[in-house]
Amino acid sequence: MTSSLKSSVILLNKGLQIIGLAYKAGKLVTGEDKVLRMLKQNKLCLVLVAKDASPKTIDKFDRKAYFYKTPINLDYTCDELSQSIGKPMIKILGLTDKGFFEALKRNLNGGAMHES
């Protein structure tokens, strides 16, 4: 493994740890309906969509995040997101806390998230 690949793996793992902490702190919303409801109320700082979710789901949340001016992240798989919060089959997460959002942004070099 090259050093740049190792460092990106470490950053992704750190991001998953932050997601797990946010879940334990009650700052994450799970599931399509809840995330959509919070998105429409402008209460989300970030939408996380599993990169292995269906293209229709990814497109739907990409358009919704763009409309509500919320950044979206597609860096993690369903397994990674599920494992980070300890729930099965997690494809959609909504982050409600600015502090956790900033910590994630720092750990992902900002390149992994795009402002919608």
- Which pLDDT tens digits describe the chain residue by residue (116 residues)? 555 544 455 556 888 999 999 999 999 999 999 999 999 999 999 999 999 999 999 999 999 999 999 999 999 999 999 999 999 999 999 999 999 999 998 887 544 455 54
Structural domains for the chain: 3-109 (3.30.1330.30)
CB 78 within 8 A of CB 89: yes
Q: Give the Cα separation of 8 and 33 in Å (integer).
A: 32
The token pair at 113 is 């998230």
Instruction: Please name the amino acid found at residue 72.
Output: I
